[in-house]
A and B are shown apart, each in its own frame.
Chain A
């Protein structure tokens, strides 16, 4: 009886471990390659960290450096190349500007919408909410072309605006926040009205603070999606490298026929995902603590 139970537990863990390995493997490879020299990557040797023997950068020699000057530890070589080959810091900055702007405007639009849909009584509310649900079903790629054409017509391609504007209204955000606001007791809103708050103050001073956990969930969703987005920046940023977002930066290392740039490419990838992971770790605690609604019930 007890043994059967243990075997069952064992299976569960086996399946979970397998799943974890499948998810983690690409990250493992990314991190490992970012440490290794091109030779080690080619021959697939050196374990996780590589041997970290001094390697010689052939290009540096070709340009005229002495062999001593052109010798590096592979890890140093990869990460310095990541920053020198492309203006990675500039890309990271662009990424921050774009994702934060998108998230901020999304919140400014979604919260009042969600409040109205959840708590105000007006004609056609159900219809509007139906439209919100309908919009959830439209895939981005389906409307990418018309969006691009519209932006091109008003001459906004190759600008921050082109990267930000199409995402400012997040139906998912409206839906998520509306569902959360539904759980906020009506009494709380009435109390705020009695105290003299306007409807907009209620949104920002009462609903927003109680909705922090939901807002964090939405923030993670939104920031991750737009930080990692390759599709849309690739479409609207055609020439100006100054506007590249981090994922576009990765392309800088592609197309080298000799394939010797895997190391720096993976170093770049590592640098790009690190901020997300750090942000998630920081947010995680707030996520769990949250502000509960217990004060109201």
Chain B
């Protein structure tokens, strides 16, 4: 139906370059998340797609249509804002009617009192009321229709705002951190609801968030943005498993990936903590960074000599199902986070020395500039440390 294609979008606010040539194709019906730390230009990009902000250069295409210079309301998009932005003096129903009235009724038909008696108005009003009722049913907000936003809880306002976006049946939904103002439990719950809604509507969602967990859980594809650029665009699982560079690796995943200083010898072999990893890359000798996710490491059943390093326990982060151990290596010059079974960590105390082994998957190697280096002969000589 409608792909949204951005090409070479640039935007500056008084000298400061906020977007540096964004190319992005959003496929019809996908849930695309723009994720990145705050200030990286996500909202600006979304507002450019919406038509609320004009880019300095580049083009936005929705389907076959070039929409540069087209008014926001004529782009057939709907937006959900972080602050919900409901009209405070109107009821939920009136809030949801507003975009329909403005789109479907003529100027004369919108006149107060008189307008509704003009030919055609009654029929349109009926269709509009029906659309509102249907949307309210989907979102389960029928009992709230007569209330004003001030009388609603945060979650209810969120739904009302969603409803106002949905009644228009837009080509795509734009959402700017819509869950940020909710409390933690509701936020997690709404993730599932939004995913369900996406499936049900089969419409394009463009979703902005600074929370990588939201991006990982909901997206079809996610675009990791930093400093006004898209660093990587892929499915959540591929980005998690295969970050293109060090900044992406660091941003995606919680707790954060362990980034450890390593080295390359002249034959391209990787060394970590003075030991050889038995893997090599084709690059000149240099300082490198070895990335190991907490779940790639283990402290359970690591035989002597098989460990990659020994470390001291500094703190425990108990999540119930898992325990994350924060370890210090080399007298605290480096730190490591390791995921562990609660059972395996039960006997440990602060300050204990443990052997850290590699569990599964391969380490990720980043060169001195932070770009990913790939192993030469993948996995055939990968050692399996139990």
Stretch at the interface among B97-105, B211-219, B310-318: B97-105
Q: Which residues of B contact A194 (CB under 8 A)?
A: 50, 52, 72-73, 77-79, 99
**What separation, in Å, do the CA atoms of A292 and B99 have in the docked complex?**
23
Determine whether A240 belongs to the interface, using a CB cutoff of 8 Å to chain B: no
Contact yes or no, B52 A296, CB < 8 A: no
A224 → B minimal CB distance (Å): 26
Determine whether B87 belongs to the interface, using a CB cutoff of 8 Å to chain A: yes
Contact yes or no, B103 A294, CB < 8 A: no
**B149 closest partner in A (C-beta):** A295
**A195 closest partner in B (C-beta):** B99
User: In B37-51, which residues have CB < 8 Å from any A CB?
Assistant: 47, 50
A126 → B minimal CB distance (Å): 13
Determine whether B8 belongs to the interface, using a CB cutoff of 8 Å to chain A: no
Contact yes or no, A197 B72, CB < 8 A: no
Determine whether B85 belongs to the interface, using a CB cutoff of 8 Å to chain A: yes
Contact yes or no, B79 A196, CB < 8 A: no
Contact yes or no, B73 A296, CB < 8 A: no
B357 → A minimal CB distance (Å): 50
Stretch at the interface among A65-73, A158-166, A185-193, A272-280: A185-193
Determine whether A210 belongs to the interface, using a CB cutoff of 8 Å to chain B: yes
Q: Which residues of A contact B152 (CB under 8 A)?
A: 295
Indicate whether A296 sits within 8 Å of B85 (C-beta atoms), given known contacts A193-B72, A193-B73, A194-B50.
yes
Contact with B along A285-297 (1 / 0, CB 8 A): 0000001111111
Give which listed residue, A191, A209, A291, contacts B81 with CB less than 8 A: A191
Contact with A along B135-149 (1 / 0, CB 8 A): 000000000000011
Q: Which residues of A contact B189 (CB under 8 A)?
A: none
Contact yes or no, A295 B150, CB < 8 A: yes
**What separation, in Å, do the CA atoms of A210 and B88 have in the docked complex?**
7
A31 → B minimal CB distance (Å): 40
Determine whether A100 belongs to the interface, using a CB cutoff of 8 Å to chain B: no
Contact yes or no, A196 B99, CB < 8 A: yes
User: In B130-181, which residues have CB < 8 Å from any A CB?
Assistant: 148-150, 152, 157, 164
Q: Which residues of B contact A292 (CB under 8 A)?
A: 88, 150
Contact yes or no, A191 B89, CB < 8 A: no
Indicate whether A296 sits within 8 Å of B103 (C-beta atoms), given known contacts A187-B81, A193-B72, A194-B72.
no
Contact yes or no, A206 B87, CB < 8 A: yes
Determine whether B7 belongs to the interface, using a CB cutoff of 8 Å to chain A: no
Determine whether B83 belongs to the interface, using a CB cutoff of 8 Å to chain A: yes
Indicate whether A197 sits within 8 Å of B102 (C-beta atoms), given known contacts A292-B150, A295-B149, A295-B150.
yes
**What separation, in Å, do the CA atoms of A180 and B71 have in the docked complex?**
27
Interface of B is mostly: mixed
**What separation, in Å, do the CA atoms of A197 and B101 have in the docked complex?**
10
Contact yes or no, A187 B89, CB < 8 A: no
Q: What interface size band does chain B fall in?
A: 20 to 34
Determine whether B84 belongs to the interface, using a CB cutoff of 8 Å to chain A: yes
Interface size of A in residues (CB-CB distance below 8 Å): 21
Q: Which residues of A contact B47 (CB under 8 A)?
A: 190
Contact yes or no, A188 B102, CB < 8 A: no
Indicate whether A191 sits within 8 Å of B88 (C-beta atoms), given known contacts A196-B103, A197-B102.
no
Give which listed residue, A188, A196, A197, A294, contacts B85 with CB less than 8 A: A188
Determine whether B235 belongs to the interface, using a CB cutoff of 8 Å to chain A: no
Determine whether B232 belongs to the interface, using a CB cutoff of 8 Å to chain A: no
Contact yes or no, A195 B85, CB < 8 A: no
Determine whether B223 belongs to the interface, using a CB cutoff of 8 Å to chain A: no
User: In A209-252, which residues have CB < 8 Å from any B CB?
Assistant: 209-210
Q: Which residues of B contact A196 (CB under 8 A)?
A: 71, 73-74, 99, 102-103
Q: Which residues of A contact B276 (CB under 8 A)?
A: none
Give which listed residue, A187, A197, A209, A295, contacts B82 with CB less than 8 A: A187
Q: Which residues of A contact B157 (CB under 8 A)?
A: 295
Q: Which residues of B contact A209 (CB under 8 A)?
A: 87-89
Contact yes or no, A296 B84, CB < 8 A: yes
A273 → B minimal CB distance (Å): 33
Contact yes or no, A187 B85, CB < 8 A: yes
**What separation, in Å, do the CA atoms of A295 and B264 have in the docked complex?**
58
**B84 closest partner in A (C-beta):** A296
Contact yes or no, A195 B83, CB < 8 A: no
A111 → B minimal CB distance (Å): 15
- 26 of the cross-chain contacts (CB-CB < 8 Å) are A188-B87, A190-B50, A190-B81, A190-B85, A191-B164, A193-B72, A193-B73, A194-B52, A194-B72, A195-B98, A196-B71, A196-B73, A196-B74, A196-B102, A197-B102, A291-B88, A294-B150, A295-B86, A295-B149, A295-B150, A295-B152, A296-B83, A296-B84, A296-B86, A296-B149, A297-B83
Q: Which 6 pairs from chain A and chain B are nearest by CB? A: A295-B149, A196-B73, A295-B88, A196-B102, A191-B85, A209-B89
